[in-house]
Structure 1
Amino acid sequence: MNRRTLVGMLSVMVLALSYGCGKEEAPKPKPQAEAPKPVAETVTVRIGSASPLTGPQAHIGIDIRNGVQLAIEDLNAKGVEIGGKKVKFELVAEDDEANPTKATTVAQKLVDSKVAAVVGHFNSGASIPASKVYSDAGIPQISPSSTNPKYTLQGFKTTFRVVAHDDQQGPTLARFAVEKLKAKNIAVIDDSTAYGQGLADAFAATVKSLGANVVAREHTTDKDTDFRAILTSIRGRKPDLIMFGGIDPQAGPMVRQMAQLGIKAQYIGGDGMQTPNFIKLAGEAAEGVMASMPGLPKEQMPGGKDFVERYKKRFNADVELFAPMGYDAVMVFADAMKRANSADPAKFLPEVGKTQYQGVIGPIAFDEKGDLRNGPITIYVVKGGKWEALETVTPGNAPAGEKKPEAPKK
């Protein structure tokens, strides 16, 4: 074999070895990236709040609005999905000025704003006419505070409340006055509103049925602040107890004027005056005054302690009256929406009536009229410049957590 042939053969072998050893494997196909999960669509659900935000009852109306706002903030912070869509709740708050005519205007404004539900109104006189507007629009309404029985007796399927009504509160207060305080001669005054007159009428009827005397039945308005003429007339009847159906802007001055006129009768009223503001307005004359309030004392509410603390931190104010009820009303709506898988009022409204919800205030369920089932009522007394719970009653049931009341003033 000549040199040239040998070199050629070696070259071929080297090339073959080079090819066999140096060949790169074909790249493996990269795994396909997972398709991004679809992001849930976000929808805005508006919740209306209607209450007096200006005028002498604004402190109560703002308290309700704050409760609604806190609930909405809590829901948004937690994150809520309804029917596969993320929901952002939005507050639409309106001022009804505690005026029945303005209330219907506000109701229509909320309907036009496309709210899904309404928490309101504060006053029975506002809730009753406004409820027809919501009913006609098919929008559910929960009042955190309206106690006049007529509110839920109109036959509307959209009307609910999370407090006991005055056909429960009035008799409870009357039995306390006659059976516990031993009052025999009683004067009754109301502020001529649906709430005040309704409560006073229920109270007076029960007083008579228990054998006590209604020695005077007087009427004022929710704008008056001078009650000397009425009180002077009542003084001559020598009542041992005066009951007032109305709100604290009238109750406070009335109690002060009683003291100025030397009237020593026990003074008692309903939830509209069971506020810190009443004590401010009445001053030293507030001591010993008694009032009823639908619901448990805040410190006895299942979620009361936490709610009061968070409310104070958020708004730099103490709970005035119905903020916990406003908060729970929003949560009832949200719960109904989740069960219906829809924020459409036509779809979740039937679920509101089926509610079985454990709220800040306690268990919430409605009867066929939209009234709260087994709503408790608490009697309070002003002691040491603060409201102190005396007795809690569930209408129709035995009293719970009863304390012995102080004797009436002589």
Structure 2
Amino acid sequence: MLFKVKFAPLAIALAFSASAGAQEVVKIGHVGPISGGIAHLGKDNENGAKMAVEDLNAGGFKINGKAVKFVLVTEDDAADPKQGTAAAQKLVDAKVNGVIGHLNSGTTVPASKIYFDAGIPQISPSATTPQYTRQKFNTAFRVVANDNKLGGTLGRYAVDKLQAKKIAIIDDRTAYGQGVAEEFVKGAKAKFPGVQIVGKEFTTANATDFNAILTSIKGKNPDLIFFGGIDAVGGPMLRQMKALGIKAKFMGGDGICTESMPRLAGDGLGEGNVTCAEAGGIASSQQKALDAFVARYKKKFGSDVQIYAPHTYDAVMTMATAMADAKSADPAKYLPFLAKVKYQGVTGTIAFDANGDIKDGSLTLFTFKGGKKVKMDVVK
């Protein structure tokens, strides 16, 4: 008894000190494919999220006047819908305050129902299928333009600027690949109803041999081949196009618009023969901020930004801004503030429309020259 009495004041003092110094922990979930064929894209997004969390903590970010500590909770969905929903449930069980992800449309859509049911806000930095925000989940947001904009703009550009009159379509049957290809055709025909779609072929997101479909396409002599899919498939496809002597121009969406494309395509890339677009258009006024981010990223990770790391960074910062506006990291309390947030980020001004899509979404068009991705234009 004497032992307990003697040390009770010290125990109380220590407990009070720990309580007074306790810092609220805000858990931000991130999901992307950290394994599999597009792991380089998943890691790119994850790195962008890491940079944002580190910057928030280094800057002493406050919510309701109190400094908080952000912690990134990461999960790997391997770009697989089943693994994606399992990863989403893990984050819900971990009681994260918000989620940044997923990377691709095929995992984002099924996972979004899990976050909606749990009332957890989700911002995708890269999923482009219109279906994601058409579900009317008030927890779903994105910081890039959707496939209607991406595919449609590329379709119009193909016939207007590249003068394509005979076009072949290939897609990988994923939600993203099929969706962007369909919107491309709509855009092309809206601009020039007489354009000929001379062939529609299908592959998979894991395919490596395209000789059968390319041989079929070669016989139809297209001016341009549009591919709805990712760089891990598009690169080898370009190699095989060159081997078969196919001279057509090659076009695709953000899935092939990566820094890894020259390595994957090799001598099949050509000079200015490939046109692609990023779903997040970076205006010239943002170039200085983007360049600074890219330099910081390379110094930190020893590699180039692939594509959506800046948008992932901005997604985290946008979510944190909504928490500050709401004076709370409670999902139910800051969700209404996220819907009306306005954040000036690395990639531009981020604000959402009634569906959760980014307002005034734009695209950046690129080609490849000298083995490097070269910016062509920004279009709205």
Q: Are residue 126 (structure 1) and residue 107 (structure 2) matched?
A: yes
Q: State how far apart, in whole Å, the 1-side matches of 2:372 and 2:268 are.
A: 12
Pair 1:233 & 2:208 matched: no
Which of 234, 239, 243 is the equivalent residue of 1:256? 239
For residues 141-220 of structure 1, the aligned pairs below 5 Å read: 141-209=122-190, 210-211=192-193, 212-220=195-203
Cα RMSD after superposing both structures: 1.5
1:374 and 2:357 are equivalent in the alignment: no
How far apart are residue 63 of structure 1 and its match? 0.3
Distance in 1 between residues matched to 2:376 and 2:66, nearest whole Å:
47
> How far apart in 2 are the matches of 1:355 and 1:302?
23
Instruction: Give the whole-Å Cα distance in 2 for the aligned partners of 1:157 and 1:226.
Output: 42
| Matched letter for residue 58 of structure 1 | A
Q: Where does 1:19-98 land on structure 2 (aligned, <5 Å)?
A: 41-98=22-79
Alignment-mate amino acid for residue 274 of structure 2: V
Q: How much does 1:295 deviate?
A: 2.2
Asked if 1:294 is matched to 2:275, the reply is no
Counterparts of 2:291 and 2:91 in 1: how far apart (Å)?
Answer: 32
Does the CA-based 8 Å contact 2:49-2:313 persist in structure 1?
yes
Whole-angstrom distance in 2 between the partners of 1:250 and 1:297: 26
Q: What is the match of residue 7 of structure 2?
A: none
Q: Residue 100 of structure 2 aligns to which amino acid in structure 1?
A: V
Which of these residues, 301, 306, 310, is aligned with residue 292 of structure 2? 306
**TM-score, structure 2 normalization:** 0.92
Which ranges of 4 or more aligned residues in structure 1 deviate by more than 6 Å?
none
Please report how far the alpha carbon of residue 233 of structure 1 lies from its aligned counterpart in structure 2 after TM superposition: 0.5
Alignment equivalent of 2:254, drawn from 267, 271, 274: 271
| Pairs aligned (count) | 358
Unpaired runs of 5+ in structure 1?
1-35, 395-410
**One-letter amino acid matched to 1:370:** G
Q: 1:250: Cα distance to partner?
A: 0.4
CA distance in 2, matches of 1:170, 1:316: 32
Distance 1:334 1:179 in 2: 41
SS in 2 for 1:173: helix
Show CA shifts across 1:355-389 (max 9, x none): 11100000001000000011110111111111111
Aligned to 1:26: none
**Offset of 1:309 from its aligned partner?**
1.2
Please state whether the residue corresponding to 1:157 is helix, strand or coil: coil
Aligned counterparts of 1:247 and 1:379: Cα–Cα separation in 2: 16
Q: Percent identity?
A: 53
1:69 Cα deviation (Å)? Answer: 0.4
Pair 1:297–1:332, CA change in 2 (3 A): closer
Q: Is it true that 1:318 corresponds to 2:304 in the alignment?
A: yes
Corresponding residue SS for 2:260 = helix
Q: TM-score, normalised by structure 1?
A: 0.85
Q: Separation in 1 of the partners of 2:71 and 2:60?
A: 13
In the TM superposition, what is the alpha-carbon distance from 1:302 to its structure 2 partner?
A: 5.3
For residues 141 and 51 of structure 2, the distance between their equivalents in structure 1, rounded to whole angstroms, comes to: 21
